[in-house]
A and B are shown apart, each in its own frame.
Chain A
């Protein structure tokens, strides 16, 4: 396995720069997820690491050795593509053995490695089948098997679950994570799905417009987002943002009601954007008054939308609250769960 270091990675298409100097360290055996909205540059960064894109500037190294000038085949990296990219005219065994065949490995050795990978992924009964005869999940496993047989230093996954239905996605998510724990491989994984990122990653890299917004462990990003973008992107349902100002140590809303104690260190009178996750708002006896506008029970929890000082706010609770449109409720924020962001820059204030 290998460690990866990206330094000041820049990528331009003509005059348009899409990666603006990305720095990232991936430790040996670490599972790193690049996450962000469409067009944020995550796939471009992954493809640059694979060698499928030529970078305009910067340095990429694996285990301390530069790979920038090496072609993809010499980088010792395997990649699982979004649509699996299985060769339709080859059966599963041939698909999995293709890279070894290209490397002129002997046939008995190819067979042995393919069989071993097939056992790991429960693909042994399917080795003679062609891709069109496989289900989505099986194709996904073959794509992973093709990467495993090469025993590369780094595995790259480019949105590998986006073509699967919701149930299969959950199953494959668990399988990939289990595979990582079993093989101890270094993985760089791209997704636009923050749930995938949260559930699978050791470390998440949140990207936007070719910049890294924040790097950290999943719960670190959830508990302490560096800016309003990360706060809104990580977590489902998304964080609520409410205009507020500091008065007497309290976060006061537009109508003058106090929502919660303001985070420490904020200057008196400062206007800021208060961030509260739906699950951190509680219905209480005393608190900020709000009017219910929509109720959505999901079974495990009840989500309801309220009008709080002119802002639409989502609340999520596991309590069996009996609410209807037009009801008045009092809301409070769990202690220490109020985030403050700069109204201009969106950076975290506390």
Chain B
């Protein structure tokens, strides 16, 4: 490509990117703006884009113990449950994914590559196909309607992909670094913790982000397994909320924004690691 056409090329790419981003983000942006409007403004015509008098009334109503919505759905409990489930399963996935990824990348055992490939195949099953067997299994294990059950379930679902990402990343780290650490007096575990894992940080962050977002926003399994109000998660709460408060769109917007907030925070801080982690093993360094 010649020098004169290069700016035009980038301008064209930027324009296409902006259009796609606007198309994807507009509904979310609209939802967030709606959460700062009053019910009256939302119902009036013509529709306004920016809130005339921005208010956080919809947000306070979510947490107002006396409000109708709070009596039906306890948002602090929903958020707390989702947080416990997402964080706990992320920690479990990281611990076991790291150990498994290390084993797949460093140890030689029969069927290693076959098993690693098999882990990805497990990702190809549609979640809906697993709903019934999972329900029966959790029932049999007495883990239905239990946060621990949901943590274990999400960990089991998240572990294959996390293991894959971490193993791919660890394979790129020269084994000589570990041997050097061993010569320097480190044990195998010390060399893994002090040398290998710090170098695999992008992959660990990617695996953690991927799993946290998936666990935080999971709906299907949570909806069939979690029955009592004390154990429901934010996604179930949001679904019920949409049914209950369709006419109060500002509250729906506030609830949806609140649910999406942790995901946005996670991506804001971890995005620079995300592509690096996903591309681990894709190109020879």
Contact = CB atoms under 8 A, between A and B. Distances in A.
Interface of A: 50, 52, 71-73, 77-79, 81-83, 85, 87-89, 98-99, 102-103, 146, 150
Interface stretch (B59-67, B80-88, B182-190, B245-253): B182-190
Interface string B179-209: 1111111100010000100110000000000
A50 B174 CA distance: 18
Interface residues of B, number: 15
A85 B176 contact: yes
Contact of A81 (B179, B190, B195, B198): B179
B194 to A, nearest CB: 8
B183 A79 contact: yes
A103 to B, nearest CB: 5
Contacts of B183: 50, 52, 72-73, 77-79, 99
29 contacts: A50-B183, A52-B182, A72-B182, A72-B183, A73-B182, A73-B183, A73-B184, A73-B185, A77-B183, A79-B179, A79-B183, A81-B176, A81-B179, A81-B180, A83-B176, A85-B174, A85-B177, A87-B177, A87-B180, A87-B181, A98-B181, A98-B184, A99-B183, A99-B184, A102-B181, A102-B184, A102-B185, A102-B186, A146-B184
Contact of A82 (B176, B190, B195): B176
A98 B199 CA distance: 16
Tell me the dominant secondary structure on chain B's binding face: helix
Central interface residue in A77, A85, A99, by most chain B CB within 10 Å: A85
Contacts of A102: 181, 184-186, 190
A19 to B, nearest CB: 19
Contacts of B199: 88-89
B182 A87 contact: no
Interface of B: 174, 176-177, 179-186, 190, 195, 198-199
A150 B185 CA distance: 10
A162 to B, nearest CB: 13
A4 to B, nearest CB: 16
Contact of A79 (B177, B180, B185): B180
Contacts of A72: 182-183
A89 B198 contact: yes
B195 A52 contact: no
A12 to B, nearest CB: 16
A87 B186 contact: no
A84 to B, nearest CB: 9
B182 A85 contact: no
Contacts of B182: 52, 71-73
